[in-house]
Amino acid sequence: MRIDTLHQNQDVTLSFEVFPPKTAATYASVIEAVEHLSRRRPDYISVTYAAGGGTSHNSIDIASRIQNQFATTALAHLSCVSSTRGEIAGIVEQLARNGVENILALRGDIAPGSDFPSGGNYRYAYELIGDIKKRGGFCIGAACYPEGHAESRNKEQDIEFLKMKVDSGCDFLITQMFFDNNILYSFLYNALRKGIDIPVTAGIMPVTSAGQIVRMCALANASLPPKFKAILDKFGDRPQALKQAGIAYATEQIVDLIANGIKGIHLYTMNKPDVAGSIVSNLSGVLDIDTR
Ligand code: FAD
């Protein structure tokens, strides 16, 4: 199903993100995680994409299996900055042939010290969005950054560039992770003032590893509020305690988001179905899981 149709039909959507295996040895475990996650009956499951390195075919393959084998709506991430326009067009056709109807159109990260590609290839996500829109047949999502993208001069300029993505044909947005809901509410207010009125789904990261989250937040330009830092300080070296506290924190964040009218929750599952499962069980009434 197209995700814009899901947004029209449901009060709140629940979705999961998985990442593809980097080696053939871990392929089976990723499929097993996807199978477990699909049993939780999310509205869709997204698969991240890494250009090059021989893993991009795994993203397409797993998105296709989510859609066809696990009978769950798939959202295929697709980053454009490291590929030619011809390569990207080929992937889009392959996704269409495999029945995938939703693409999260991204620029992708530029390696530190390297230049933008030349030769007419993509520089920004809005160009990819425009091309997919022109082709037709896909519901298109894009990324947004409640605390601003790491390369942006300021949040206002970031929202102006975000508007270009929306105007190029993007149907919905998924946020970068954030740990203070007030940051999202302020971002949504500013986005709406700039005329961005498409559905925005909140990306929620349940934290289960202290070292990993500090690195990820630095890369993602996501700040850690004092309440969250206290959890890391107290439980950072006790994995089971941190996992419980991380699940409780994410649960509380989601309850507040839904109470304040947010229409979509996207869990960054890190391929851990048990963590996602605990959060979904905590929220089965709030998310109306039983009536799906
Ligand atoms: P853009 O929207 O193109 O923005 C990139 C930067 O350029 C921003 O600073 C923006 O303000 C600026 N900009 C935009 N337009 C212009 C313009 N016209 N002129 C000047 N500056 C401009 N990465 C992956 O590699 N694979 C994934 O699967 C993946 N999934 C993601 C999922 C989500 C929900 C999120 C939030 C991010 C994801 N990323 C992924 C990371 C993403 O690729 C990086 O954050 C990347 O640096 C920016 O991608 P973008 O699509 O937001 O780029």
Question: What confidence tens digit (pLDDT) does each residue in 117-164 have?
Answer: 767 789 999 999 999 999 999 999 999 999 999 999 999 999 999 999
Is 289 a member of any domain? no
Distance 108 CA to ligand 1 centre (A): 6
Is 171 a member of any domain? yes
Is 291 a member of any domain? no
Find out whether the beta carbon of 108 lies less than 6 Å from any atom of ligand 1. yes
CA-closest residue to ligand 1 atom 13: 161
Q: What is the CATH number of the domain that holds 156?
A: 3.20.20.220
* The pLDDT of residue 160: 97
Atom of ligand 1 nearest to the CA of 109: 47
* The pLDDT of residue 53: 63
Distance 69 CA to ligand 1 centre (A): 30
* The pLDDT of residue 111: 74
CA-closest residue to ligand 1 atom 11: 158
Is 217 a member of any domain? yes
Distance 107 CA to ligand 1 centre (A): 5
Residues annotated as catalytic are 17
Written as one letter, the residue type at 77 is H
* The pLDDT of residue 120: 72
Q: What is the 3-state secondary structure (H, E, C) of the chain?
A: CCHHHHHHHCCCEEEEEECCCCCHHHHHHHHHHHHHHHHCCCCEEEECCCCCCCCHHHHHHHHHHHHHCCCCEEEEEEECCCCCHHHHHHHHHHHHHCCCCEEEEECCCCCCCCCCCCCCCCCCHHHHHHHHHHHCCCEEEEEECCCCCCCCCCHHHHHHHHHHHHHCCCCEEEECCCCCHHHHHHHHHHHHHCCCCCCEEEEECCCCCHHHHHHHHHHHCCCCCHHHHHHHHHHCCCHHHHHHHHHHHHHHHHHHHHHCCCCEEEEECCCCHHHHHHHHHHCCCCCCHHHC
- Report, as ranges of residue numbers, the positions in the chain whose pLDDT lies below 50: none
Is 59 a member of any domain? yes
Is 138 a member of any domain? yes
> Which domain does 169 fall in, by range?
3-282
CA-nearest of 128, 101, 125 to 44 is 101
* The pLDDT of residue 115: 74
Domain count, the chain: 1
Find out whether the beta carbon of 48 lies less than 6 Å from any atom of ligand 1. yes
Find out whether the beta carbon of 49 lies less than 6 Å from any atom of ligand 1. yes
Find out whether the beta carbon of 143 lies less than 6 Å from any atom of ligand 1. yes
CB 137 within 8 A of CB 166: no
Written as one letter, the residue type at 46 is S
Is 228 a member of any domain? yes
CA-closest residue to ligand 1 atom 28: 48
Is 126 a member of any domain? yes
- Prediction pTM value: 0.97
Terminal alpha carbon distance of the chain: 14
